[in-house]
Structure 1
Amino acid sequence: MNFKGIILIVCAVIFSVASYSFDKNCVTSKCHTDFKKFKIIHSPVEEDCESCHEKTGKHEFKLFYKDVNQVCTDCHEDRGGGKFLHGALKMKKCIFCHNPHGGDTKALIRTKRVDATCFECHDRETKEGKYIHGPNISGNCSICHDAHSSDNRYLLISPQEQLCVNCHTDKNYTNSGKKMHTALEDGCTGCHNPHASSFKYQLITSPKKICSECHSDLVDQAKQALYKHPPVNDGKGCVNCHDPHGSLYDNNLKDNQVSLCLSCHNKPIIGTDGKDYNIFKILTENPQKHGPIREGNCAGCHNPHGSNFYKILVAQYPKKFYTPYEKKRYSLCFECHEANLAENPETTVDTNFRNGSENLHYVHVHKKKGRTCRACHMAHASKLPKHIREETPFGKWDIPINFTINKNGGSCSPGCHRGYKYNRINPEKYQ
């Protein structure tokens, strides 16, 4: 074969291949050059358009199936097996979201960002707000939602109560021993907007209002209380003391009651006598702790949300140093202590502070200027048994008490009267 014959054969082969390419691969044709602009070209487009299209005439094609989704599921796994279907999938319109020829993302989404495709149907207001959820601001809705189907409402990729801790791992309290806030049992959206909000942490409303959605009784109490607890109404409000997600302690407290209270009450506080009291210092320096303190129960005497009784006490207690005796005035003390120790003038069982059977508690409180409990006892802690004071405040003077105790009685020699002894077995004779 001469050289001219070889050239003719080569040209015939080239023409044949070119003809095939133009017939089979539209990407290289003069009609669909825009397909080449995609960063990622759908593989059938690169390989053979007739994988999806059937030729019906000169440059006339139709899909193999009337159902577009069926064309897709010939190659792609059917993603519609979940309990909840995406609307586009329910309508069998994969092409609502995907470009069947190519795109700028691996999933061939029609837009450069996932959220732009979503907003063609969904309300763009989900991005409105000063504080926007990270996946939302990055435009990646698929971090939380399955674009095809799911067994969870809103096409969430996990049950709502699990979804958030997929990223917020520090809020996953499984096997941590922490008690989860009951508001989180059904997920985080009771308090947080998962898309965007005008409030920090994407809260659904202001921090001061959000707790009232469930705890309206406590919020109302705090507002109406005559004596208010500053942390409830100042700054962060409830979260000054409570962890809104979960805690090792009851009522979602950030720490045990005593430690939590002392995180503020570790500095001087003005008492009713006008003097400074540092509760941390009192508890640290005095080994004899009042029962509620020993039990770690500050709320046994104080209402942390506010109260109509001074010092945010849970019940009535005399505010003044001297006061005529009435049982109701000592409601706080009598929640734990028997009222008989102050009401029976004679007893051998109600109290050990007696001279024979004469009730010395009764003697002190049943006067025109009845002494209140604080005259002799420290409410939090003391160095002496029975929480007896070493000194009692009286205006500018701290009156020494000089109390001693022995097997059958004791004595005191305070600045307010001469020294007296008492004995339960052999009563002292008073003149």
Structure 2
Amino acid sequence: MRHWLKGLAMAGVLLCVWQSHVVDAGAEANQHSHLKDPPLSTNLQSNPADYVGSETCATCHTEESKKFDSNPHAKLSLEHAGKGVTCESCHGAGKAHVESGGDKTKIFSPATASAKQVDATCLGCHESAHPNFERSEHGKAKVSCVSCHSVHASQEPEHLLKVAQPQLCFQCHTDIKPQFSMPFHHKVGEGLMKCSDCHDPHGTFQSKQLRSTADQNAICTKCHTETAGPFVYEHPVVKVEGCISCHSPHGSENPRLLNVSNVNTLCLQCHSATNTAAFPHAVSPTGPVHNQSAQYVACTNCHTQIHGSNASNIYFK
């Protein structure tokens, strides 16, 4: 009998706790229920009554509406039962625009808005994918999202680019374009590589917007795997200054994209008697075999493993 009464009391306690939880959950649901109603606008009003729906937009903007069906943003709308990305998600509530007969000042237009306004609108959804954009070189230079992307008239559907790479990048980076026409260059113009293979246009904490890695050489060694290491005997310049201390990454008039035509000149920039103070760890070549005035022998004829060696501290095989 005593055990039965104790069990009944415990059941009563559990019932009270459950009822309290249900009440609290219901109150919280009512408190936040308004968050489900407005569309995903990030720039203008959020009153549900001010939204007219994409069907209303389509009555005037017919071409844009037809093309939007194949747009990546439209797929999000279908996935979220019509509550995903719609016209008013980016352009803001359309009631005032419609009632004014199409007054352009009554709607948000990325084409005429400032870079800051455009970026704030796009990053309202894409911030998790591009958290460093505002600190990037493009962000600082006020190169907005619509400078490169076009939602309604893109020529490269996957990323909604206005034109495909590298032509898109060359529109601004005119100083880089000629480098890919040099005798030795990375095959960007041929379509075997893209600028974004090495650079992140949306920003990193690295210079030149190189793709962020713990070791910047990893950008090069993901293709040039034979130079990746790790090696027992590492070439310090590779670790300290990186690949570009010897190579021009876009293009060069010299084989292997070297910065200078004579490989010995490249090596002697560090490995010379006159530079021992500046490069105390660099070994200065001595002996008749290294006498450049008497004979010319390329350094790499003997020191073949210049990126690093597992057998020799002077980079022999």
Range into which the TM-score falls when normalised by the shorter chain: 0.5 to 0.7
Q: CA contact under 8 A between 2:166 and 2:188: conserved in structure 1?
A: no
> Of residues 221, 239, 242 in structure 2, which corresponds to 1:262?
221
Shift of 1:211: 0.8
Q: Secondary structure at the match of 1:204?
A: coil
Q: CA contact under 8 A between 1:241 and 1:253: conserved in structure 2?
A: yes
Q: Secondary structure at the match of 1:211?
A: helix
Shift of 1:213: 0.8
User: Does 2:272 align with 1:382?
Assistant: no
Query: How many angstroms apart in 1 are the aligned matches of 2:131 and 2:51?
Result: 38
Query: How many angstroms apart in 2 are the aligned matches of 1:193 and 1:292?
Result: 43
Query: How many angstroms apart in 1 are the aligned matches of 2:176 and 2:111?
Result: 34
Q: Where in structure 2 are the equivalents of 1:240-255 lying within 5 Å?
A: 240-254=197-211, 255=213
Q: Which residue of 2 aligns with 1:372?
A: 298
**Quick check: which one's helix share is greater?**
2
Shift of 1:218: 1.2
Query: How many angstroms apart in 1 are the aligned matches of 2:73 and 2:302?
Result: 60
Assess, with a 3 A threshold, how the Cα gap between structure 1 residues 232 and 155 changes in structure 2: closer, same or farther.
closer
Query: How many angstroms apart in 2 are the aligned matches of 1:240 and 1:303?
Result: 16
Query: How many angstroms apart in 2 are the aligned matches of 1:353 and 1:207?
Result: 46
Q: Which has the larger radius of gyration?
A: 1
Q: CA contact under 8 A between 1:228 and 1:307: conserved in structure 2?
A: yes
Query: What is the total number of aligned residue pairs between the two structures?
Result: 242
User: Does 2:138 align with 1:182?
Assistant: yes
Shift of 1:382: 2.8
Query: How many angstroms apart in 1 are the aligned matches of 2:221 and 2:138?
Result: 27
Shift of 1:390: 3.7
Query: How many angstroms apart in 1 are the aligned matches of 2:283 and 2:125?
Result: 61
User: Does 2:131 align with 1:173?
Assistant: yes
Q: Secondary structure at the match of 1:159?
A: helix
Shift of 1:173: 1.6
In the alignment, residue 115 of structure 1 is paired with which amino acid? C
Assess, with a 3 A threshold, how the Cα gap between structure 1 residues 301 and 118 changes in structure 2: closer, same or farther.
same
TM-score (norm 2): 0.62
1:294-334 CA distance string (max 9 Å, x none)? 2151111111112111111111124xxxxxxxxxxx33224
Shift of 1:181: 4.2
Q: Which runs of 5+ in 1 are unaligned?
A: 1-81, 85-104, 267-277, 319-329, 342-349, 392-431
Q: CA contact under 8 A between 1:243 and 1:253: conserved in structure 2?
A: yes
Q: Which residue of 1 aligns with 2:73?
A: 134
Query: How many angstroms apart in 1 are the aligned matches of 2:124 and 2:63?
Result: 25
User: Does 2:70 align with 1:113?
Assistant: no
Assess, with a 3 A threshold, how the Cα gap between structure 1 residues 131 and 291 changes in structure 2: closer, same or farther.
farther
Shift of 1:233: 4.1
Shift of 1:170: 2.5
Query: How many angstroms apart in 2 are the aligned matches of 1:384 and 1:204?
Result: 51
Over the residues paired in the alignment, what is the CA RMSD in angstroms?
4.0
Query: How many angstroms apart in 2 are the aligned matches of 1:225 and 1:113?
Result: 53
Q: CA contact under 8 A between 1:218 and 1:305: conserved in structure 2?
A: yes
Q: Secondary structure at the match of 1:170?
A: coil
**Quick check: which one's strand share is greater?**
1
Query: How many angstroms apart in 2 are the aligned matches of 1:252 and 1:108?
Result: 39
Assess, with a 3 A threshold, how the Cα gap between structure 1 residues 186 and 362 changes in structure 2: closer, same or farther.
closer
User: Does 2:260 align with 1:332?
Assistant: no
Query: How many angstroms apart in 2 are the aligned matches of 1:205 and 1:191?
Result: 8
Q: Where in structure 2 are the equivalents of 1:99-248 lying within 5 Å?
A: 109=52, 113-119=55-61, 124=63, 128=67, 132=71, 134=73, 140-146=86-92, 147=94, 148=96, 149=106, 159-173=117-131, 179-182=135-138, 185-200=142-157, 201-222=159-180, 224-230=181-187, 233-248=190-205
Query: How many angstroms apart in 2 are the aligned matches of 1:312 and 1:217?
Result: 17
Structure number with higher relative contact order (C-alpha < 8 Å, ≥ 6 residues apart): 2
Assess, with a 3 A threshold, how the Cα gap between structure 1 residues 130 and 309 changes in structure 2: closer, same or farther.
farther
Q: CA contact under 8 A between 2:130 and 2:202: conserved in structure 1?
A: no
Shift of 1:340: 5.2
Shift of 1:367: 3.7
Q: Secondary structure at the match of 2:175?
A: helix
Q: Secondary structure at the match of 1:189?
A: helix
Query: How many angstroms apart in 1 are the aligned matches of 2:54 and 2:188?
Result: 48
Q: CA contact under 8 A between 1:145 and 1:154: conserved in structure 2?
A: no
Q: Where in structure 2 are the equivalents of 1:23-34 lying within 5 Å?
A: none
In the alignment, residue 302 of structure 1 is paired with which amino acid? H
Q: CA contact under 8 A between 1:302 and 1:312: conserved in structure 2?
A: yes
> Of residues 317, 327, 345 in structure 1, which corresponds to 2:262?
317
Query: How many angstroms apart in 1 are the aligned matches of 2:298 and 2:49?
Result: 80
Assess, with a 3 A threshold, how the Cα gap between structure 1 residues 186 and 214 changes in structure 2: closer, same or farther.
closer
Q: Which runs of 5+ in 2 are unaligned?
A: 1-42, 78-84, 97-105, 276-281
Q: CA contact under 8 A between 1:171 and 1:245: conserved in structure 2?
A: no
Query: How many angstroms apart in 2 are the aligned matches of 1:313 and 1:209?
Result: 25
Query: How many angstroms apart in 1 are the aligned matches of 2:165 and 2:273?
Result: 43
Q: How many percent of aligned residue pairs carry the same amino acid?
A: 24
Shift of 1:257: 2.5
Query: How many angstroms apart in 2 are the aligned matches of 1:331 and 1:353?
Result: 13
